[in-house]
Structure 1
Amino acid sequence: MTGKGDHILITGGAGFVGSNLADALLREGERVIVADNFSRDGVRRNAAWLQANHGDRVRVEQVDVCDTARITPLVRQSKQVFHLAAQVAVTTSLDDPRTDLQTNVIGTFNVLEAARGMKTPPPVLFTSTNKVYGGMEDVAVDLADEAYRYTDGRPGVSEEARLDFHSPYGCSKGAADQYVHDYARIYGLPTVVFRMSCIYGTRQFGTEDQGWVAHFGRALYGREPITIYGDGFQVRDILWIDDLVDAMRRAMDRIDTVAGQVFNVGGGAPNAVTVRGVIDRLRDVTGRSVPVHTADWRPGDQRIYVSDTAKIQRVLDWKPRTSWKAGLEKLVDWLREADLESPVLARGAASVREPLAEAVGAD
C-alpha cells in the first residue's frame, strides 16, 4: 500500500535517527520530506548537512506533529511515513508531562488519522522504546563478573513481555505504541512498531539524558567528567545506527507481510555491554581518560535490558552487522571529523536534545 505522493515523510527527520535514515534514502534516489519542529539546537546542524549533501531532493519543513493542519497534508503527499518525532527524555517528561503527552500521543494520533483518511493510506513505521516494558522488577537478575545477567539465562526480552509503563514518558510512548498497533488491527492501516533499545552513532549529540554512548565519547574528547547513575554494571544491547536504518528499510520493503507487527530492535546478546565497558572501550580508542563519578540509581532503572531479536531476525532476515567494539571506533572517527573534541564545542553540544531517550541508567 502506498499513498498518492512520491515522497517519503520522516517526522523528526532532522534528529539523530531521522537524519541518518533520510541520508540513506536520499542516496538511493528517493525524495524525502524532513518534518521537524526544530526545538532542539542540534537538529538544525543535521538539516543543513542533509541539504548540503542532497540539494532539492530533500524538502525540509518546520512542522510540529501536534499541528494537525500542517502535518496532515504532508502525510497525504507521502508514499511512506517514518514517524520518529517525539518528546524523548524521561527527565523532561517528569518536569512537563502535559507537553510530553501532547507530543507523543496527540502527535502520533494526528499522523495516524491523516493516513486513515486516505483512500490508499501509506505505511507508517513508528519508533517506540523498551521503556514500555517498565522496570521489569518481576524478572530475576543477578550480578556476576561485574555485569548484570538474567538469572534464568534468557537471551533477552521478547515482544511477549508484559507491558508496564513507567514515568510520563513511558506512558506516552506506550500509549502511542498501542495506538499504532491497534490502527492496523481495527482500521487495517499498514503500520509497524519498532521497540528500540540503545541506538548510537553518527550525528548523535547525546547528553546524560539522551544518547549516553555519544555523550560519553564527547565527554572524553572534551576532557569533561562522566557521571554514572548506579554502579555502572547495568547492561544494554547497543545498536549502531546503520543497522537500525537497515532494519527500518527492510520493514517498509516488506510491509505487505509485516503490517500490524511489533518488533524489539537492539544489538541483542552479542552487543550487550555494561556502561563501564563502553567507557573502557572509548578510553582505549581515544587514548584519553576523564574522572568517572557515580550517583544514585535513577527510579525504574533496569539492571539489564537486552533485546531478544529472534523475531526480527526471522521475519525480516535482519541482524546487526556492526559489533559494539567496532561501532565505538566508528563513533570516535565521526567525533574527530565533526571536531567535537573541542572542550567548548563539547560543552555546547551537551545541551542538544536529540530524538532518542537512552539515559544512562534509564533506558
Structure 2
Amino acid sequence: MNIALVTGSAGLIGSESVAFFSDKFDLVVGIDNNMRQYFFGADGSTEWNRNRLEEAYSNYAHRPADIREVSQLEPIFQEFGADIKLIVHTAAQPSHDWAAREPFTDFSVNANGTLNLLEMTRQHCPEAVFIFTSTNKVYGDNPNFLPLVETETRWEIDQNHPYFENGIDEFMSIDHTKHSLFGASKVAADVLVQEYGRYFGIKTAIFRGGCLTGPNHSGAQLHGFLSYLMKCAITGNQYTIFGYKGKQVRDNIHSYDLVNMFWHFYQDPRPGEVYNAGGGRYANCSMLEGIALCEEISGNKMNYTYSETNRIGDHIWYISDLSKFKAHYPGWNWTFDLKQTLVQIHDSMAARLGQHA
C-alpha cells in the first residue's frame, strides 16, 4: 500500500495536499488537532475543512494527534510503517505576532514538532520523501536592507539590482538578522530538515513560502493575508494596515501550485534541497493593490485604517525567485494568477459566510 501522510491536514496547504494526493495514493492520513483555533480564535478554526475532507475523500483517514507529542505520533507511524511513501509537513504556528505571546508554544510546535516527525520518519519509513513548508521569514529582515524605491502604490527594488528580474533567491543569508520568534523557530525547523537530508540521507525538501493562499484558507487578522483581506471586503469588518504606507509587497502562490511543486519533487527527489516558493514576478501585490483588487472583485468599498507601527520583522518588499526549482523541475509552472486566486477566495468565502457570490 502507498500512503501519504499530511500534517496540518485541515489547513490551507494540508487540505490542498489531501485533495491533490487522494487519487495518487491508496490512503491519505491526515494529522491535525485544530490548534489554529487556539492560535487565532473562531476565525482560525479548521473544523469546517476537516469535515469537508472527510466527506469528499473516501480514502482520507483523520488523526487528531499533537505533533509535539511523540507518544501521539509513534502509534500512527507504527500502524503504517514503510507503507508511508510521502510526508507533507505543513502543521505550524504561523504568526510573528502570536509567537511573541507564547514562545514556548511556538517553538514546541514549529521546531520540536518538526524534529519529532523527522525522527519518526527515520525510524519507521526512512525511504519516504519528507516535504517541509518553511517560510521566507527565515531570511529575517534582510530583505528590508535591499535598495528599495517608493512608487505610487508599492515599494519596489531598484531595477539595477540582480533581484529585480526574478526576486530573492535561496542564497540570501538567514544569519545576522531579526526574524521574529516565529521566524527563529522556523529557521530551527528548516535547518533540521536540511540536516536529516544531508546527514541521514532522508529525501527531504524545504519550501520557503512567500504568501501561501487559496480558497480553503481560514484567514484571521494575524495570519492569512489575502484570505483575511477578502473576508473583510465581504463582511465590512475593519481591516488594519500596519506600517510602510500600505505599500509593502508580497508575492502570493495558490495552494494548488505549491502542492504541485511538492509532487514534482516527490517524483525525482533531491535530498536536503531548499527552494523558494511563491508567486514570484507572476503573482504579487502591495497591500494597497490587494485592497483595490478585493474591492473590485467583491463590489464593496473596504473599511480599513492605517497604523504607523509596522509588525516586527515584517518585509517591506519580498518576491520569491523560483528559478532554481524551475531549473530542477522544468515541467512545473504557475497555473493561477493573483486575480484568479482572489476570485476563488471570494466565491468560496462568500458561500461559507452564506452571502451571495
Q: Same fold (TM over 0.5)?
A: yes
Structure 1 residue 29: deviation in Å? 5.3
Mapped pair 1:194 → 2:207? yes
Mapped pair 1:291 → 2:298? no
**Partner of residue 279, structure 1:** 291
Number of positions where the alignment pairs a residue of Structure 1 with one of Structure 2 = 335
Distance 1:235 1:119 in 2: 40
Distance 1:282 1:73 in 2: 45
> Cα deviations across residues 37-90 of structure 1 (Å, max 9, x unaligned)?
2223422111110111113x1110010111112213434522211111111111
**Partner of residue 361, structure 1:** none
> Cα deviations across residues 6-52 of structure 1 (Å, max 9, x unaligned)?
32100111111111110121144541001012223422111110111
> Among residues 11, 18, 43, which one is paired with 2:14 in the alignment?
18
> Cα deviations across residues 184-238 of structure 1 (Å, max 9, x unaligned)?
1111111000000001111112112110101011111111121111111111111
Structure 2 SS opposite 1:158: coil
Distance 2:14 2:192 in 1: 21
**Partner of residue 74, structure 1:** 76
Runs of 5+ consecutive residues of structure 1 not aligned to the other structure: 343-363
Distance 2:137 2:26 in 1: 32
**Partner of residue 339, structure 1:** 353
**Amino acid across the alignment from 1:65:** I
Distance 1:72 1:141 in 2: 48
**Partner of residue 110, structure 2:** 104
> Cα deviations across residues 311-343 of structure 1 (Å, max 9, x unaligned)?
11111222212111221112112123323549x
**Amino acid across the alignment from 2:150:** L
**Amino acid across the alignment from 2:336:** T
Structure 1 SS opposite 2:63: strand
Q: Do the aligned partners of 2:85 and 2:125 also contact (CA within 8 Å) in 1?
A: no
Q: Do the aligned partners of 2:180 and 2:312 also contact (CA within 8 Å) in 1?
A: no
**Amino acid across the alignment from 2:100:** L
Change (3 A) 1:115 1:29: closer
**Partner of residue 167, structure 1:** 180
Over aligned residues, Cα RMSD in angstroms? 1.7
Q: Do the aligned partners of 2:248 and 2:287 also contact (CA within 8 Å) in 1?
A: yes
Structure 1 residue 126: deviation in Å? 0.4
Change (3 A) 1:340 1:105: farther
**Partner of residue 248, structure 1:** 262
**Amino acid across the alignment from 1:162:** S
Q: Do the aligned partners of 1:72 and 1:110 also contact (CA within 8 Å) in 2?
A: no
Change (3 A) 1:88 1:298: same
**Amino acid across the alignment from 1:63:** A
Distance 2:145 2:108 in 1: 31
**Partner of residue 300, structure 1:** 313
Change (3 A) 1:308 1:73: same
Structure 1 residue 121: deviation in Å? 3.1
**Partner of residue 133, structure 1:** 139
Q: Do the aligned partners of 2:216 and 2:345 also contact (CA within 8 Å) in 1?
A: no
Mapped pair 1:90 → 2:90? no
> Cα deviations across residues 232-276 of structure 1 (Å, max 9, x unaligned)?
111111111111121111111222xx2221000000012121111
**Partner of residue 40, structure 2:** none
Deviation larger for 112-121 or 95-104: 112-121
Change (3 A) 1:340 1:232: farther
Change (3 A) 1:89 1:341: farther
Structure 2 SS opposite 1:13: coil
Q: Do the aligned partners of 2:167 and 2:321 also contact (CA within 8 Å) in 1?
A: yes
Alignment of 1:151-230 (within 5 A): 151=158, 152-153=160-161, 154=163, 155-164=166-175, 166-230=179-243
Change (3 A) 1:301 1:128: same
Alignment of 1:260-275 (within 5 A): 260-275=272-287
**Partner of residue 357, structure 1:** none
Identical positions, percent: 27
> Among residues 60, 74, 80, which one is paired with 2:62 in the alignment?
60
> Cα deviations across residues 141-185 of structure 1 (Å, max 9, x unaligned)?
121232111124323110011003511111110010000001111
Distance 1:81 1:119 in 2: 10
> Cα deviations across residues 265-307 of structure 1 (Å, max 9, x unaligned)?
0000121211111110111111111222101212222110000
Greater RCO between the two (CA within 8 Å, min separation 6)? 1
Deviation larger for 78-87 or 20-29: 20-29
**Partner of residue 42, structure 2:** none
Distance 1:7 1:118 in 2: 13
Distance 2:188 2:52 in 1: 33
Structure 2 SS opposite 1:52: helix
Deviation larger for 223-232 or 147-156: 147-156
Runs of 5+ consecutive residues of structure 2 not aligned to the other structure: 38-44
